[in-house]
Amino acid sequence: MNLKIGVIKGDGIGPEIVTEAMKVLDKVGEVYGHTMDYDQLLMGGASIDVHGVPLTDDTIRRAKDCDAVLMGSIGGDAKTSPWYQLEPDKRPEAGLLKIRKALNLFANLRPAVLYEELKGACPLKEEITEGGFDMMIMRELTGGLYFGERKTVEENGVMTAYDSLTYNENEIRRIAKRAFDIAMKRRRKVTSVDKANVLDSSRLWRKVVEKVAGDYPEVTLEHMLVDNCAMQLVKDPKQFDVILTENMFGDILSDEASMVTGSIGMLASASLNETKFGLYEPSGGSAPDIAGKGIANPIATILSAAMMLRFSFDLDAEADAIEKAVAEVLREGWRTIDIMSEGKNQVGTEKMGDLIAGHIA
């Protein structure tokens, strides 16, 4: 099978970690008889340096011609990088919002798994994490506060800012259906997170989700306010299977979930549209403070590549092989610095990629 993959290496540690994911994908192709056709694309600061904008129309066109896109991290140091002297719509992160909208990537999947081998890196008490946990955060990605109208004006001599939070029932329905479909393949439980005690948008969210739930009688639905969910994630993360929520809440909760897994360097991510196309990226940032040092953890990006094989290409065996290889490498005691613990073997970015690729079978 020929896999046409757009590759956005990005900024900071992005090129380092994406290179290792490509190494693992190439090994999968070698073992399972696939060819990888990569199209190297620019976005974020790397695109600003070349084109003056974080995302060009040509990059969007080429991305649409691919079967999927694998991306690294975008952005730099907001205090020192010249990218952040530009207008907000010209900064690196603006490219992220633009490509999500252009590719209609409305469903963001962020698995949060605590590996038994990494339970020592989890900041929670051992009695809470005993047996590990495995949840999927389903975040709506192209609506809500981040895409609403915004303005800053002077009113009666006082500077005042406005941000609009808007959702319609169609936007809510399609993300809810994805969440219930995924729950059917997991433990058949959906926790819908909102702020329905305050927000009209959340009250509509809850109403639509309940209607969708009627088509999935095998799945248990519960509603949870976002502040309670934030507490429950650290109190009892094992209770969650699929967490379904809107854009801003999902942004915050998924980062919280990443830290209770031990490291954000372990958290993969997929953003899907209504077809098989998806954009796959690690959930962490570009970490400019460690860029070029060869110490970044590539596992989240490698696991994102596994999600790409599973969701965009229906190559479940190949995805399983990557996930198994990651688990075996961790079981053998190999660690990057962010997940290092006493008695384990510390390795750098490239070596970790070599080890995982070496376990693909």
List residues with catalytic annotation.
146, 195, 227, 251, 255
Q: Binding site annotation covers 290?
A: yes
Ordered DSSP codes for 210-272: HHHHTT-TTSEEEEEEHHHHHHHHHH-GGG-SEEEE-HHHHHHHHHHHHHHTT-GGG---EEE
Neighbours of 48 (CB within 10 A): 24
Q: Binding site annotation covers 298?
A: no
Q: Binding site annotation covers 173?
A: no
Q: Binding site annotation covers 217?
A: no
Q: Binding site annotation covers 360?
A: no
Q: Binding site annotation covers 310?
A: no
Q: If you ran DSSP here, which 8-state letter would residue 105 be given? A: -
Written as six digits, the tokens of 78 are 């907001």
Ordered DSSP codes for 344-360: SEE--HHHHHHHHHHT-
Q: Binding site annotation covers 241?
A: no
Residue 166 · residue 146 · CB < 8 Å: no
Q: Binding site annotation covers 345?
A: no
Q: Binding site annotation covers 12?
A: no
Ordered DSSP codes for 30-41: HHHT-EEEEEEE
Q: Binding site annotation covers 293?
A: yes
Q: Binding site annotation covers 21?
A: no
Please state, in angstroms and as integers, the Cα–Cα distance from residue 110 to each residue in 34, 95, 98, 217, 255, following that order: 26, 20, 20, 24, 9
Helix (H) or strand (E) holding 113: strand 107-113
Q: Binding site annotation covers 110?
A: yes
Q: Binding site annotation covers 92?
A: no
Residue 224 · residue 232 · CB < 8 Å: yes
Binding residues for NAD(+): 285-297
Binding residues for substrate: 100, 110, 139, 227
Binding residues for Mg(2+): 227, 251, 255
Binding residues: 100, 110, 139, 227, 251, 255, 285-297
